[in-house]
Structure 1
Amino acid sequence: MSQVDDATGLGRLEPKSLVQLAADAVRKKILAGDLEPGERLIEERLTKELGISRPPLREALRLLQQEGLVVNQPRRGSTVVELTSEDVYEILTLRSGLERMAVELGVPVQDPARLEVCRQALARMRACAQAEDRGGLVEAGYAFHASIVALAGHGRLSAMYNSLYQQLLLCMARNLYVRERFYEDLETHVDRHQELLDVVERGDPKAVLEALAAHGERSFSSM
């Protein structure tokens, strides 16, 4: 939330609350794979790790429950949400369909500013990989794919894609965890996205669709 500064008339940003900071920290642990799907979130351990008391942690977990990253189960308390194989299939096939539609509508790219958004998202991915910030890399990876969809300049298409935000983050987080463990390092993960952007920039829709299909196939094989 922002307030208006009386002297300048400009909006000034309020600092994040302890609850928001705690939610950010736990979210990053989930996306980085430090907290695995189905894992119980033990309050005593998290309060020590984050240096906070239980009340703000519980509020943070409630926020993450609203986001769909955490579930509260009777007699177990809060746990990291666990997607079924059917969930993953539905989420990734829907993502694939939306991205293919975006490519059919948006490639060759008519507005260079849209490509610049893709490049900036990829640069954030590269910076996160170099810093070994896996949670940040997952979020930047989502931003990259969303920027590919935005190439179409189709507001409703982008809105539908963005409605999958939290579900896609969970799939992308699991994909990154498995691929890093068995197939590729973080830099190679980013390189694959660079290759996809290179094909987009060449402006051949058929080649982009083929590259997207190969890219998506790797995601399915890792889940």
Structure 2
Amino acid sequence: MQPNSAIMQKPLSELIADELKQKIWNEEIQLGERLLETDLAESYDVSRSTIREALKILESEELVVSQARKGTYVADFTNQDINEMIELRTLLESHAFTQAINRLESHHTKDLEAIVDEMKQKADEKDWNGLFDLDMKFHSYVVGLCGNTRIIKIYDSLQVQIRTFLMHLDRYYSSTQAFYNEHKQLLEALVSNDVHIVNDRVREHIEYVETKLLGQSSDIEFKEV
């Protein structure tokens, strides 16, 4: 952890929670794996109470679950979870993206272009984790322009779950370039100011991404309900 002023403003428990999230997304920690307070405290050289606070943060984000007398585990999402996420993302993002069109100014377009340019670099490097982080940045930025504070708040609360679902998608896209191209097309649709094109692009993107994950869920050991 690099000691810069912005990072050091965060409590230690939050820094550890952030690092655990990255380890889960990098598949260094597996879905369904048990997280032992003692081992984590030793690994990070902190007290068990600090680890407990970090795990409570992850639990509030629904990335881990605590079971009485059994311990704490990384959440193992079900097909129902994925179905619900598809439906919710489609509802929120199709509406938010179309509403963002009227609020999209030149400096917003430049910001989004910069994100897409970063995605091109990550695609060239075949860096899937970097691409997925930028995917979240791109979608969150556009949703943030929709003008509906409640939609923005709900979407923010879903960030960790959405990012966790994305972690398996590298095995379903033909290439990093294909993933980058989808976001380039999303940006082009926004700039076109055509509500129908934007709505179609958003729905196609979510349905492809999420149904690929759902359709192959048995391969990644998601549970049936």
Q: Which runs of 5+ in 2 are unaligned?
A: 215-225
User: TM-score scaled to structure 2, two decimals?
Assistant: 0.74
For 2:83 and 2:62, locate their aligned partners in 1 and report how far apart those are by CA, in whole Å.
18
Distance 1:195 1:110, change over 3 A: closer
**Alignment equivalent of 2:34, drawn from 36, 40, 45:** 40
Aligned-residue sequence identity (percent) comes to: 28
Partner-residue secondary structure (3-state), 1:78: strand
Pairwise mapping of residues 1-223 of structure 1 onto structure 2 (< 5 A)? 15=8, 16-43=10-37, 46=40, 50-53=43-46, 55=48, 56-107=50-101, 110-126=104-120, 130=125, 132=127, 134=129, 137-173=131-167, 177=168, 179-219=169-209, 220-223=211-214
Distance 1:154 1:62, change over 3 A: closer
Q: Which moved more, 1:57-66 or 1:204-213?
A: 57-66
Distance 1:157 1:43, change over 3 A: closer
Q: Which runs of 5+ in 1 are unaligned?
A: 1-11
Is residue 114–residue 150 contact of structure 1 (8 Å, CA) maintained in 2? no
Distance 1:155 1:127, change over 3 A: farther
Distance 1:123 1:82, change over 3 A: farther
Is residue 109–residue 203 contact of structure 1 (8 Å, CA) maintained in 2? no
RMSD: 3.0
Matched residue count: 206
Give the CA deviation at 1:40: 1.7
Higher relative contact order (CA 8 A, sep 6+): 2
User: TM-score scaled to structure 1, two decimals?
Assistant: 0.75
Is residue 128–residue 137 contact of structure 1 (8 Å, CA) maintained in 2? yes
Is residue 100–residue 209 contact of structure 1 (8 Å, CA) maintained in 2? yes
For 1:14 and 1:85, locate their aligned partners in 2 and report how far apart those are by CA, in whole Å.
36
